[in-house]
A and B are shown apart, each in its own frame.
Chain A
Amino acid sequence: MEKLKEKIKRIDYRHYIAFFITIGFVLVSIFVFPNAYVRICEGFCDLWASIKFYVKELFALEFDAYPSVIDKSKVGFTPILGLPATWEEFAALFSKYWKLWATTSNFKAYLVAFGNFMFRFSQILLLVVVPLFLFSYIFFLRYLSKHNNDFNKDSKPLKFTKWLATKTYIPVKGWTKQFVGFLKDNSIYFKLWLFVWAFNFNFITIFIEFLAFYLFFVISFKTNTIYMQFYKLACDLSVVIAFVPLVVWVVLGYMFLCWWRKKIGYSRLNHFENKNCGFINERPIVIMLVGTMGKKKTTAITDIALSQEKMLRDKAFDKLLENDLKFPYFSWINLENAIKHAMKTHEVYNLATTRQYIQKLAYFFYVSRDLDDKQTTKSIRRHIKRRFGIDHKNLCFDYDYSRYGLYFDDKLKVVDLWQVIETYAQLYFIYIIQSSLIISNYSIRTDNLLADNGNFPMWDSDFFKRDSKEIDAFSRHAHIVDFDALRLGRKLVEDNKNKDSFDFGVVNITEVGKERKNNLELQEKKKKDETTNQKNDGFNDWLKMIRHSATVDNFPFVKVITDEQRPESWGADARDLTEIVHIDRSGETKLAMPFFTLTEMIYSFVFSKFAKLYYKYRFTRSDNTLPMYMLKKFTAITHNYYNGIYNTFGYCKLDLKVENGTQDGQYSDREYFLMHKKIYSKRFSTDCFSDFFTNKNLRSPVGIDDLLEYESEKATFEELQTQNSYFIGDLMNKQNEDGKERNGQFD
């Protein structure tokens, strides 16, 4: 007994609340919606009768089976819109409806009714809303007429409001939030409530009746019974329509609109992303984005890199299935587990080691098969288990090769199982790598999620539905580029351990011209120089040969994306390999989500009025008053909602002109979409080299305020001299030489 009491005490009190709410809903169901019980009984009777009818008709059996689903309900509901009970009555009313619809008198009556409605609406607007608004405005102006310097001091009404909110609103809000959290953790209550209300509103009955009618109709095809089902539906729905008040319908309608427009917004964003992917796929392996400052070059190459990374994984995924189906009975999961294990032990860490790993296993398999000696096979198995952690019944990942075969003919060539395994292993290696596939000279955040239950893992690469509060928990960043890894010739650090590391991925290089320079800037540098320079490091050769290291199953898993202000800034030898994408124009921000016009207009009206008022207030006073507190709170909510929508569904279109790297062809006009949620969600820093300038500025003993000012609108001779300018210096020298010559003449 004591133990039971202890147990009861330990139960979270919110369980009691949820339990009593459930009991309350059940009581409401019993006393307010008794007909729901009658209807559900009818529904089950109809379903049973329909099943009997279905079986009887299907097997042509002889027993009594009347499909009661075609009959009217015994509950006397009034259907919505006063729908008549029979098709004949409905047909007569329908024709009457259209006749009446087309009469002038009816339209005039509607105009009168509409006028009355508008009159009442205007009355409310003019008698309540406008005076209230004017009164508030005049009341607020009173505050603006009094000047003070009471820095951050709360007024008495505000103090009282804050105190009241602390005692009432804040605890209620806090409790409600944690109760909602409790309900989320114990979803059984919420499901139970949903079930009770679905039952009360006859939704469950409607579903059962639908099944009953479906079974009857597919076997009988009696179309004259369809109308009765609509009538019954109208009767059943009349309960929810009558019970739920108009205000709730308005709120529900608004919520539905929000859900619907967001759905359209997301599908548009995905459509733009697909268009972007199409654009990127059409480009060659090396591309160069060009545009003047502020044209969103770096933003665009980051966006392209993110999409390209996703596409590489998608391509690997597609090709995995292609290779899987070449040997449909092969135990791919055993191979995948072996690769995962090899990656953990660092046996496999790039494509070359993956190939080598599979080749070793293939060698052991063929040796064992060719020798056909049990003792040797046993020794090899023991060795493989110790060396690679693989322990299967045979040396081919448990694949029954004697039954299913070792060769596949694709009608072009015959391939060996181990060749396919080698390809599959490389693709799986590309697919499974959890860190970013981007290698870059600036940081890029990626937030792809790998869901893994220990079987085949699945990537979630959605760019638009990530919760901004959680991105830090699962974000990864691009790998730091080591340019020595991109050099086939001399290296800056000869014993650099990363120097041979690159074999596939997305290489992003911003300001490539400043790194590689052009022929004019490299005039002084020579190939034979002792030190490593752009002419002897073999970077261009690497660029030309890049696809060789990255090709798996005839697809190059590599892309080099660069940007620069002018194409000519990058030497022609490398630039000729690329396609140059000029950013012609960066368009205005638009919204992918429809039906936001009204909110947008209200927001711009409210915000413009508030901004003026707010700074007038800040200029006049510095204390905190209740009206300003409330006004600011309301405006902040509106502003944050508006910004949230634009940050999620905003996009801007880049107008592009694409030309060959040789710069001797025609321009082709293309477009690219930059979606805010994808590219501005902490993806990269627009001032990625700012730390260099920070150090430079920190060294400076003076700031802008300390710099000398011109005395007047015309600079003096001394002021010009302080510019340390080449131009002014030249003028000074010329003047001095001129002066000397003249002095010489007079001498």
Chain B
Amino acid sequence: MKWHQWTFVLGLMSFGVLVGISGCKTGGKSGGGGFRLGGIKTGNASLDRAFSIGGSAIKVGQAHAEANKEFTDRQLYFVGRSASANVIAKNGVVDTEAATAYLNLVGQSLARFSNRPEVHNGYRFAILNSDHVNAYATPGSYIFVSKGLLKMASSEDELAAVIAHELAHIEQRHPVKTIKQSLGTTFWLTLAAEGAKQSGKRNLKQVVEGHGKMVGALAQTLSEKGYSRDSEFEADVSALGILSRAGYDPSAMIRVLEKMKTKYRRGGLGFDKTHPSPQDRIAKLRPRVSGAAKPVPTARRSRFNQAMAGIRG
């Protein structure tokens, strides 16, 4: 084969490889409404048209059709808002300004290092008026941490570990997965299609009922059933990455789980109801955390203690 022919072949090979790699990366991390690319499907209609393997051409515009089967971030935000309203109504929110401002500072700073730093309405944090140790994340990206958990944590790093776990649930789209699993894919697709119609043409009653069912499924998962064990372990592992990228010592996750272990009761009403046992979680994480725990610097200790003064009472 002559050089110009090799050049052409190499060009074509790189084209395929680059498209494949970029597709996986973008799709895997963006997590946005229907932004899912994989393999060689690019979502670019002209490319999809051009790309054909083994005689089975990839349908033009297939990626766009797939995209329309998903909810937009805004639609999910509104489902999350309603689910959050249920969480708030059940527990109430503590209005301690210093602690709430600090929680938002830690949480939003940490969120920059999640693989989903941009969410529809930004990450918003509040303290639940509950003595149970627990935390919740909704697709609207409202994140709640209980007063009981704040009392249990003894450093900013431990609090950051808990928040990183909640950010990881959003990053991994666990709320969306749980709704799909609870209500079935057919329900999801029908509602996404109906919700995408313009006002006046869609069946508002059907959309509102669907909204209520999604909120119900999510609220039940958050406060009763919990996510699957696999999702919880996945969130723990992703949290290690978030902590590490932000500069925190990932072993803080083990430290906070050790504390949770002492609080864990079978039949308990906090995290014990909705999460695998801390012992199991520690066992899964231990091989992934190397080196001895680093001490938390004084500056971090003092700002944490100062912010929590109003919570500890």
A and B: partners? Answer: no
Using a CB–CB cutoff of 8 Å, the interface residues on chain A facing chain B are: none
